[in-house]
Homo-oligomer: A and B are copies of this chain.
Amino acid sequence: MEVLNKPDSLSAAAPVAPDVNRRGDIIRAAGRLFRQKGYNGTTIRDIADAVNMRSGSPFYHFKSKHEILFSVTTEGIEVMLKNLEMVIANAQPARECFESCMTTHMNYLLGPGRDFAWVMLYESRLLDPTERAIVHRMSARYEAVFSGVLDRLAASGDLLDASTIARKLILGAMNWSAQWYDDKGASNPQAIAQHLCALVLTEKN
List residues of A whose CB falls within 8 A of some B CB.
Answer: 37-41, 122, 126, 160-161, 163, 165-166, 168-177, 179-180, 187, 191-192, 195-196, 198-200, 202-203
Contact A199 B166 (CB under 8 A): yes
User: Across the two chains, which residue of chain B brings its CB closest to A160?
Assistant: B198
Evaluate contact between A192 and B179: CB separation under 8 angstroms.
no
Q: Is the CB of A161 within 8 A of B199?
A: yes
Can you name 7 extra interface pairs (CB under 8 A) apart from A161-B195, A202-B203?
Answer: A161-B199, A165-B187, A169-B173, A171-B176, A172-B176, A172-B180, A173-B173
4 nearest A-B residue pairs (beta carbon): A172-B176, A40-B40, A173-B173, A169-B173
- Chain B residue numbers with a CB within 8 Å of A174 are 172
Please name 12 pairs of A and B residues whose Cβ atoms are closer than 8 Å in the assembled complex, sorted by A.
Answer: A37-B126, A38-B126, A40-B41, A169-B176, A169-B196, A169-B199, A170-B173, A172-B173, A172-B175, A176-B176, A199-B200, A200-B200
Query: Considering the chains assembled together, what is the distance between the CA atoms of A195 and B170 in angstroms?
Result: 11
Chain B positions within 8 Å of A173 at CB level = 169-170, 172-173, 176
